[in-house]
Amino acid sequence: MILALVNLLLSAGRLPPLTRVLPAAAFLLLCGLFWEYVSPLLISGSVSDPLDLLAYLAGGLAVLPLLRLTKAQRRP
């Protein structure tokens, strides 16, 4: 969901969406690291789970083929 949201915001700002693996993976990794390792330091009762980090990456990267397919279909 986070990748779809950031692509929506990028499109609203007339910027190209994240459709390549490396930039998308880097963005998802940074988000996951923040949520899993920084937010537990800031929010009491929050815990870190490294498997969630893998889930963020897997889910976001699984969406990339759909984004590319949609982008290819919009071209004339």
Q: Dump pLDDT digits (tens) for 46-62.
A: 899 999 999 999 998 99
Classify residue 15 by its DSSP letter: -
Whole-number Å distance between alpha carbons of 66 and 7: 13
Whole-number Å distance between alpha carbons of 72 and 76: 9
CB neighbours of 55 closer than 8 A, spacing ≥ 6? none
Q: Dump pLDDT digits (tens) for 31-47.
A: 999 999 999 999 999 89
**Would you kindly state where each structural domain of the chain is located, as residue ranges?**
2-74
